[in-house]
Amino acid sequence: MKSSSVAESRETVARVSVTDAAAQVIDTLREKHGELMFHQSGGCCDGSQPMCFAKGEFRVGSNDVWIGTIYGCDFFMNADQFEYWKHTHLTIDITPGRGSSFSLEIPLGLRFIVKSRLFTTQESENLTSVLNGEDYLAQQK
């Protein structure tokens, strides 16, 4: 019997996840708009909320970081903001209310919100890798 190392037995830890309620809204939006993507806004006009777009409608570039997928949707954030949030797990949820953005859920009278918590030491040792926006785009070709 072959023994496995501790590193082999560890599962990678996702940096971002989604609640069941938010997943239901994603299903509704996907039916209407097709494939979707998210970008964690950096604040200012849209209040630092996760924004949902039809895939490809938000231009990803070298200043963005791909941090994972939620419910089949790629999730990006500005690289400077990621430096600040890289030690936190993000959970995307939904709440009633109208946001002031171009995010696809706004006409439904809902808005996506982000909840965060610090990773544990063990989680931090097993995080999924991130990709620079340009590297992500190169892999998609």
Tell me: the pLDDT tens digits for 56-85?
999 999 999 999 999 999 999 999 999 999
Region 80-100: mean pLDDT is 92
Share of the chain above pLDDT 70, in %: 88
- Residue at 5 is within a domain: no
Region 112-117: mean pLDDT is 95
Number of domains, the chain: 1
Report the pLDDT value the prediction gives residue 6, as an integer from 0 to 100: 39
- Residue at 4 is within a domain: no
Tell me: the pLDDT tens digits for 123-138?
999 999 999 988 888 8
* Residue-number span of the structural domain to which 19 is assigned: 13-136
- Model's pTM, two decimal places? 0.87
Which CATH number characterizes residue 57's domain?
2.60.300
- Residue at 111 is within a domain: yes
| Proportion of the chain in helix, strand, coil states, percent, rounded to 5 | 30, 35, 35
Structure-token pair, residue 122: 């063990």
